[in-house]
Structure 1
Amino acid sequence: MRFKKELDYVHLSKYFYIFSITLTILGIIFLAIFNLNYSVDFRAGSNVDVSLSKNLTVDQIRTAVANIGADHEPNITPGTQRVTIRYDEVLSSQQDAALKSAITKLDDKASFEVNTVDTEMAKELARNAIYSVLLSCLGIIVYVSIRFEWRFAIAAIVALVHDAFMVVAIFSIFRLEVDLTFIVAVLTIIGYSINDTIVIFDRIRENLRFGKQKTYDDLKVLVNKSISQTIMRSLYTALTVFIAAFFLLLLGGESIKMFSLAMVIGLLFGAYSSIFIASPLWLLLKKNQKAKPKSKPAKA
């Protein structure tokens, strides 16, 4: 399968910009109103993962743990012979023992994994996660600015921030749980995003060296040509990783489900951001560049 070289990617990009801007505004609204659905990793409390030998309903579990002495109602997430019970408070040793005893009465073969995060640790984890993303972006800006130029750097950062924020927006809109594996997924998505973007930018720079671009239309043709020359490589790379992440989502355990889902979502957005976001944005910035005056020939 080959894409026609005359396909106008720059023209098509306006539809992707409209879609991305709409989803960005929607994501900002949901983040402002509801914020993210943080897991116990980023919120003080206790998270109890229970492996069961029989199927129990949420009502059975809720009734069983109602009298352990907790101040708040737990959030119970059912699964296939597995259930997660999350409290917005740190359970004491007595409450922990009471919970295990109550579940064991329903299923004497149940096993438990309890994760507890205090308030200070939750704040530190959230702060470090933000710092890691910001430092990654800063490093990419420096790298792209040195290797290419500042216009490439701005376009690349917009593309990778777009990919990362789209994942955050989807998780906020659908109230999906954000845990530590989510941060790992976002950093991985940033890596794939910048990789695809650099491949296209490298081809644009190479074609600039051997072409004579005098007008905006000349640059537009060059960008479309560069994307055509690299699009199959970008799509094959994204598709290969997408298939792996998709099957991890379907067949993987509960502990990596949010990581796999974030990867799947991020790769879908990343598949078009380098083509329809980063490259047209560079073209827009380049369009406003003032032409350098030609040097006058020396008089004899």
Structure 2
Amino acid sequence: MRFKWNYDFVKLSKYFYTFSIILTIAGIISLAVAGLNYGVDFRSGSNVDVTLTKPLTEAQVAPVVESLNLSKDPSISVGGDGRMSIRFETVLTDTQENQLKQAFNKQLDSGASFEVNTVDPTIAKELERNALWAVLLASLGIIIYVTIRFEWRFAVASVVALLHDAFLVISVFSIFRLEVDLTFITAVLTIIGYSLNDTIVIFDRIRSNLRFAKQRKRGDVADIVNKSISQTMTRSLNTVLTVFIACLLLFIMGSESIRMFSLAMMIGLAFGAYSSIFIASPLWLVLKNRQKPKAKAPSKTTA
């Protein structure tokens, strides 16, 4: 037996609009004041991944690394799989890399192996620019696709919803100073796909119900939206929960390199779950209600 969700989703949407507006304003302020906490993928510097042969703590490694004076405020993070990451804000020279390796092997772990990844300022700016273009081109493609399949009002509502999801994820990462790297961009683009998928399912049901419903007044369209959301709610929640649980397990049990990806996915899935229901569909309803009624054809009179 299918559970019936008998709620006035259109009426409830005003609370979610308020929440989204507040978080959007907070995100804009955070981005304007502090920006994003870019990882080494988006800023110049060197990232040294160390594979350890014995357990070491950050407290043991920090004094050795800082004594070399290779860079200001090096960042050290210890993974749970025998790996350690040391990040420098400046690009290390070959001499500095050798100096770090020798000091590490001599004072901390003689069997440790190293992998050095370097990003110069030009590449960092190019990656940032390409990431922005990827989101914009994806949005443009979605507008074209949804307009062809449905109508422009559906296209506008779906793009607003997916940009809403992407921006709120970015806002959360900015507010809480979470690190942004290439896996974060992958997560944002994946979130856009999931959000669009849920939105299209609801829109397809709205379109189907519109064909057979009698619309005598403005409230009838709102009833159709509520009915369509109710009919697809179980499917939407099942899809989101399945992926959310998988991302949660990756966040808890996965390696350090995919932790921010998993976290971004979980945040984005939560935003995407309610944006399809409480942002996209009510926004389409607003645009639909502003549609000018078609002029009635003059009736023919017989002589």
| Common fold: TM-score over 0.5 | yes
2:124 equivalent in structure 1: 122
| TM-score, L = length of structure 1 | 0.96
Checking the alignment, whether the CA contact within 8 Å between 1:69 and 1:95 is kept in structure 2 is no
- The secondary structure found in structure 2 opposite 1:65 is helix
Q: Deviation at 1:3? A: 4.7
Query: Which amino acid in 2 is paired with 1:125?
Result: L
1:57 equivalent in structure 2: 57
Aligned mates of 1:3, 1:156 — CA distance in 2? 26
Change (3 A) 1:84 1:206: same
1:89 equivalent in structure 2: 90
Aligned mates of 1:161, 1:2 — CA distance in 2? 32
Aligned mates of 1:18, 1:2 — CA distance in 2? 31
2:221 to 219, 222, 230: 219
Residues 282-297 of structure 1 correspond to what in structure 2 (within 5 A)?
282-297=284-299
Query: Which amino acid in 1 is paired with 2:52?
Result: L
Change (3 A) 1:16 1:89: same
Deviates more, 1:81-90 or 1:164-173: 81-90
Checking the alignment, whether the CA contact within 8 Å between 2:50 and 2:83 is kept in structure 1 is yes
Checking the alignment, whether the CA contact within 8 Å between 1:13 and 1:280 is kept in structure 2 is yes
2:206 equivalent in structure 1: 204
Query: Which amino acid in 1 is paired with 2:16?
Result: F
1:226-245: CA deviation from partner (whole Å, max 9, x where unpaired): 10111111111111111111
Aligned mates of 2:55, 2:237 — CA distance in 1? 42
Q: How many residues are treated as equivalent by the alignment?
A: 300
Q: Deviation at 1:267? A: 0.7
Question: Identity of counterpart residues, as a percentage?
Answer: 64
1:252 aligns with 2:254: yes
Q: Deviation at 1:150? A: 1.2
Aligned mates of 1:73, 1:232 — CA distance in 2? 49
Aligned mates of 2:51, 2:111 — CA distance in 1? 9
1:228-273: CA deviation from partner (whole Å, max 9, x where unpaired): 1111111111111111111111111111111111111111111111
1:11 equivalent in structure 2: 11
Ranges in structure 2 where 5+ consecutive residues have no aligned partner: none
Change (3 A) 1:5 1:84: closer
1:103 equivalent in structure 2: 104
1:35 equivalent in structure 2: 35
Q: Deviation at 1:2? A: 4.8
1:25 aligns with 2:25: yes
1:68 aligns with 2:68: yes
Residues 159-174 of structure 1 correspond to what in structure 2 (within 5 A)?
159-174=161-176
- The secondary structure found in structure 2 opposite 1:66 is helix
1:176 to 178, 200, 207: 178
Q: Deviation at 1:6? A: 3.3
Aligned mates of 2:224, 2:272 — CA distance in 1? 22
Checking the alignment, whether the CA contact within 8 Å between 2:4 and 2:231 is kept in structure 1 is no
Residues 260-271 of structure 1 correspond to what in structure 2 (within 5 A)?
260-271=262-273
Aligned mates of 1:226, 1:62 — CA distance in 2? 57
Aligned mates of 1:51, 1:117 — CA distance in 2? 21
Ranges in structure 1 where 5+ consecutive residues have no aligned partner: none
Aligned mates of 2:33, 2:2 — CA distance in 1? 45
1:76-108: CA deviation from partner (whole Å, max 9, x where unpaired): 223334322111110001111111112212112
Query: Which amino acid in 2 is paired with 1:299?
Result: T
- The secondary structure found in structure 1 opposite 2:48 is strand
Deviates more, 1:126-135 or 1:68-77: 68-77
Deviates more, 1:261-270 or 1:211-220: 211-220
CA RMSD, aligned part only? Answer: 1.5
Checking the alignment, whether the CA contact within 8 Å between 2:46 and 2:90 is kept in structure 1 is yes
